[in-house]
Structure 1
């Protein structure tokens, strides 16, 4: 049978898959805290500069903070000429996210989803604790860039796993829940920051849930879709059979058919350049890049500006950047960008409930898509036992 047909047999979104996806979804809260970390620990309280006369008649300036605030600003006196270092630390984090996405995405395609996911999560936990213990700004900024690199790679593979563990009918659901939980994580980070004012204690506290989730992630299986795309059908069958057993379907015997281009001399050497050289992938890549740009523009454009507000940083409303929305022009830009991104999303096959190819060869094979579409339709309309009986006849 085909992979989608197998998912319908073992359960597209059974109890076992719900538990696995729940772990991945909860990780979004941890990732949100790391992304928004600089907003609270980079807070700049009111201060004044005082001139101090030293021996010999020289004058020096000292900084006196009017508020008892614990942040990297107050600890390392990042004001005046040194103020740029706060934004620099935040920017370095997202530079790391970019590098992590570029590096760990292809690595997960070649090595596997689970090993890359676990390695990046483990290293992120270690490096995040390093940020909390950094003795100076230079080591802090370096650790934030490395945390961003691990965060970018781990977040990418985490999202992919939340899709590949379930049937395609539930991709929109798991994807939406994942992104909604990230927004919840931003609000929870503000709440935690309200009660934990020491920036080092805050860095430690928001990292501890990640340690607990890491142990749950160790028990997650490899993606059956990745195994299938690599021609490792026997291993994919075992994972799917385990899904069926844990979903209460009992012992299920299934046989996945080989996909073209995954075995022997037919195996293709897919790479990053396929995103621009392949006609179909090139179009979809442009669409997805624009959609992601629109999401990032609104998401981070609002949340990262919260540190500039003069209100209470720890109020959830402030975290959504009301000051930015007071101006009509940015609001219109955000609105139009989001609407246009949603319209472009209609060009993707999932929005029309079309079958999604597992390999590049299938992507260019209309015959495969017609066969897959017919099989899924028949399976949805007829009982499996009846269809097997008709096939044997």
Structure 2
């Protein structure tokens, strides 16, 4: 008897499972609030050189503020004041009509900057003057956070298998909350960067463990539902972030608010059950019996009637003799490994490259972020219906290539057509989300059971690599305004073309061994006998990449 048979006996989808979903809801919603928080706390408001020191020196006499700025700061071609330059000495002749500021000597701002606080009360840029020569540090903060996420994924994946999902989840709650709140009180940029790294490290453990717990407590026919719920909770948190950022315009307060739900998560952690599947796999039969009996009672079913000791040798666990090297030892396995790495990198880079670029479409950043988040919901629902119609490969390649097309179209659309640009950008965001949703399922079907966890660990690393470089790519707009879009578009197209080289897995039995991968994969099963929801069991290694 397999563990699924026990779930069928005690109720594989009932009040007990719904309670788990509810208990894990708050921490799952927190994830996107931290992943995309830099859109708001790292915003760069309009600014100019501070000329108040000249006023204190009595150089301006009775000049109005507008006149003081005219003689102190040069203007750009569009008529706005330059952000990072001022005249070496006040140019009073500019007060005369017809005088030109061309070729007048300028210097960098000498006494700091004055910021436009109409949109943001304070951001990282205004807190530590991360502007002009230092403005790249705001985007660097996002990269530092995602590096923490990358390292945390590897660490918590190991800890989860060794010490259990429940205990590791509590450690993630405490770390994410502690370092999250601490970063709100950082008194230097260096300290803030370190604390954001540690926050990313802790937050990723929530993603690794929360979805795993939900999936391992439901029967195979409802695992896809749990996957969808977990994915939709990301979208809810993403939309919530737009509203919170609109209401709270101070960076430190916003960090505390999006971190606060973890306090509720810590309080309710005591009611979260450990994975009985994990307990049995590690021979902890009495503890597994306790949680299984609780599940049966909650679901108003009979308690387990078999001896659980008989299951400890039958639980499906990963063969310890398989390592990452087995992903490249054989030809077809090596091809799948290379191509899935390219696709994961491209999907992550594209999704976050679009998500982190929420300006330039004629809408305020709050509305853009909300629309970007809202479009994910229909994108998820539509792609789930298309997967069984068109197949995994066509959906994966199609969504990526169409995302690249949307980005390319916006490169050539004039900025004056902001309605069209915003519409194309929103469509591209929905397609990039559909590509991410498809990839979770597709990857689990491509790898054999004996190396599936290793394969997902590798692709998880590749995705985080893409996520980490996305903020840095956006900085290249200073070199050429459309260069980031060209790079992101190229990544989407290359990933889409790579997906076309992967085998189709629709209605194909899951490979159990590497030998199954190397032989022709023509063993299809009927839709009635197929068990696609079981594939979502493997999402546990990658659940925190996007959602």
TM-score, normalised with respect to structure 2: 0.57
Classify 1:344/1:94 alpha carbon distance in 2 versus 1 (closer, same or farther; 3 Å): closer
The offset of 1:107, in angstroms, is 1.4
Aligned pairs for 1:106-185 (under 5 A) are: 106-185=158-237
1:103 alignment counterpart: 155
Classify 1:307/1:255 alpha carbon distance in 2 versus 1 (closer, same or farther; 3 Å): farther
Classify 1:308/1:272 alpha carbon distance in 2 versus 1 (closer, same or farther; 3 Å): farther
Write out per-residue CA displacement over residues 130-161 of structure 1, whole angstroms, 9 at most, x where no aligned residue. 11111111111111000001111221111211
Q: Secondary structure at the match of 1:64?
A: strand
Q: How far apart, CA to CA, are the structure 2 residues paired with 1:50 and 1:87?
A: 24
Classify 1:12/1:304 alpha carbon distance in 2 versus 1 (closer, same or farther; 3 Å): same
Q: Which moved more, 1:22-31 or 1:131-140?
A: 22-31
2:112 alignment counterpart: 62
2:15 alignment counterpart: 15
Q: Does 1:214 align with 2:295?
A: no
Q: How far apart, CA to CA, are the structure 2 residues paired with 1:238 and 1:287?
A: 44
Q: Does 1:81 align with 2:133?
A: yes
1:328 alignment counterpart: 409
Q: Which moved more, 1:74-83 or 1:318-327?
A: 318-327
Q: What is the RMSD computed on CA atoms of the aligned residues? A: 4.0
Q: Does 1:238 align with 2:290?
A: yes
Whether the aligned pair in 2 keeps the contact of 1:302 and 1:319 (CA below 8 Å) is no
1:26 alignment counterpart: 26
Whether the aligned pair in 1 keeps the contact of 2:50 and 2:111 (CA below 8 Å) is yes
Q: How far apart, CA to CA, are the structure 1 residues paired with 2:361 and 2:41?
A: 14
Q: How far apart, CA to CA, are the structure 2 residues paired with 1:260 and 1:252?
A: 18
Classify 1:20/1:99 alpha carbon distance in 2 versus 1 (closer, same or farther; 3 Å): same
Classify 1:272/1:213 alpha carbon distance in 2 versus 1 (closer, same or farther; 3 Å): farther
Q: Which moved more, 1:344-353 or 1:90-99?
A: 344-353
Classify 1:114/1:278 alpha carbon distance in 2 versus 1 (closer, same or farther; 3 Å): farther
Whether the aligned pair in 1 keeps the contact of 2:123 and 2:250 (CA below 8 Å) is yes
Q: Secondary structure at the match of 1:306?
A: coil
Classify 1:22/1:298 alpha carbon distance in 2 versus 1 (closer, same or farther; 3 Å): farther
Higher helix fraction: Structure 1 or Structure 2?
A: 1
Aligned pairs for 1:294-309 (under 5 A) are: 295-306=347-358
Q: How far apart, CA to CA, are the structure 2 residues paired with 1:4 and 1:145?
A: 39
Classify 1:290/1:207 alpha carbon distance in 2 versus 1 (closer, same or farther; 3 Å): same
Q: How far apart, CA to CA, are the structure 1 residues paired with 2:433 and 2:242?
A: 25
The offset of 1:203, in angstroms, is 1.2
Unaligned runs of 5+ in 2: 58-87, 90-106, 376-402, 412-427, 450-504, 518-528, 531-547
Q: How far apart, CA to CA, are the structure 2 residues paired with 1:210 and 1:164?
A: 22
In terms of Rg, which structure is larger? 2
